[in-house]
Amino acid sequence: MRPHLLWTAVLVTVTWSCLPEEQASFDPSSSESTADPTTGGPTSPTEVAEVTGPDVPDPGSTGGTSSGSTSEMATTDTGEAPVCGNGVIEAGEMCDDGDALNLETAACLPNCALATCGDGFVQVGVEQCDFGNNNSYDYGGCVPGTCFWGPACGDGEVTPGYEICDPGAPVDPMGGELIPCGPECRFEGRVVFLSSTIYTGKELGGLTGADAKCRQLAKTFDPERFHTYRAWLSDDTSEPTSTFDHSNVPYVLLNGVAIADNFDGLALTGPTVGITITDTYEAIDDIRVWTHTTLAGTKIMDDLHCKQWSSDAFDQVAMTGRNSVPTDLQTTWTNEGWWTRYIENNCNTQYHLYCFEN
């Protein structure tokens, strides 16, 4: 053998033995070693993957499941999709008490969300109401954040401006007959109150001005019918018996106590108890009230009415009533009609008014 052929054989032998095991066992006749039709050499491993691609999911295709798909993100650790109602809190669920306990009235809702005030469902034992986005602080509304009823007719609290009375509110009958409070939070009768404000004769502004003052005060607690109120007041041209309705229903104070069965009963014997409750629900006893009116509801036949309630001169006078008296004077107060005709007072002095729903 020639020397250069010997070295060539040795070099080939050494090179082959140093190749990796996979390459060392490469079989030129296997299907993995296809020839490159352009170069005649074997194709590279990368080229093989591209050629045999149908066995590998195409990242750009809609077939198969990619790593960012919805179903893969919704699966649990076991690879299964979460099921609301199986009693297990899984991905995407806030709670899960099982189908039998996931209820619209329970702490865990049918969609596995925790019940909250404002979700539109009433959780039993926790909430009284829930109108969802319509929860409000308004009268009759459901209070946001607590889902308890706000002020409403029947809650036992009188809400001025919305209610005259409340069927659930305790009252002090003060010795009189108690008039029922109806389902609309109005007494089953007509309201009478003592004005919380006092006036001189001139400040009344005539009978029309006195009526307006009663209506302004009534508006705070009776916005529905404030325009019907009139002052129990006379001058030499007008009087309650001709300007008032001769009502057949009881007259009632704002504490629910009846003072008379009707207008004719009031004009015959007067109120059975003092007119002591003001438009602000305050009780005021034994004070003077401008009237210039007889027990029968007629005008007193003189001209002592502060010049038709337009003067506050110290030398002018008008008749006043006494709204209530101590118990030992009650009989005299009733028999003498002191509630409307007690004593004349100077027109520059400030006194109250009696105001009647008419």
Q: What is the mean pLDDT of residues 117-142?
A: 96
For residue 169, CA distances in Å to 24, 123, 145, 152, 215 come to: 102, 27, 26, 12, 25
Mean pLDDT in residue range 197-226? 97
Token pair, residue 30, equals 């296997």
pTM, to two decimals: 0.67
- Which tokens hold the place of 169? 């509110």
**DSSP letters for 309-326:** HT---TT-EEEEEE----
Residue 79: pLDDT band (50, 70, 90) is low
For residue 125, CA distances in Å to 105, 106, 130, 154, 348 come to 9, 9, 13, 20, 61
CB atoms within 10 A of CB 331: 10
Which of 40-44, 280-284, 333-337 is predicted with the least confidence, judged by mean pLDDT?
40-44
**Strands 251-252 and 190-194, bridge-based pairing:** parallel
Res 269 pLDDT > 90? yes
Span 228-252, pLDDT tens digits: 999 999 999 999 999 999 999 999 9
At residue 57, the pLDDT reads 38
Question: Which band of pLDDT confidence, cut at 50, 70 and 90, is reported for residue 169?
Answer: low
- pLDDT, tens digit, for every residue of 293-346? 999 999 999 999 999 999 999 999 999 999 999 999 999 999 999 999 999 999
| Whole-number Cα distances in Å, 67 to 59, 163, 358 | 10, 64, 80
What residue ranges define each of the domains in the chain, with the CATH number in brackets? 190-357 (3.10.100.10)
User: Which residue would you say has higher pLDDT here, 51 or 269?
Assistant: 269
Q: Would you tell me how many other CB atoms lie within 10 Å of the CB of residue 110?
A: 13
Q: Given this model, what pLDDT does residue 168 score?
A: 80
> Residue 130: phi, psi to the nearest 5?
-170, 110
- Retrieve residue 130's tokens: 């829930």
On the question of pLDDT at 51 being above 50, the answer is: no
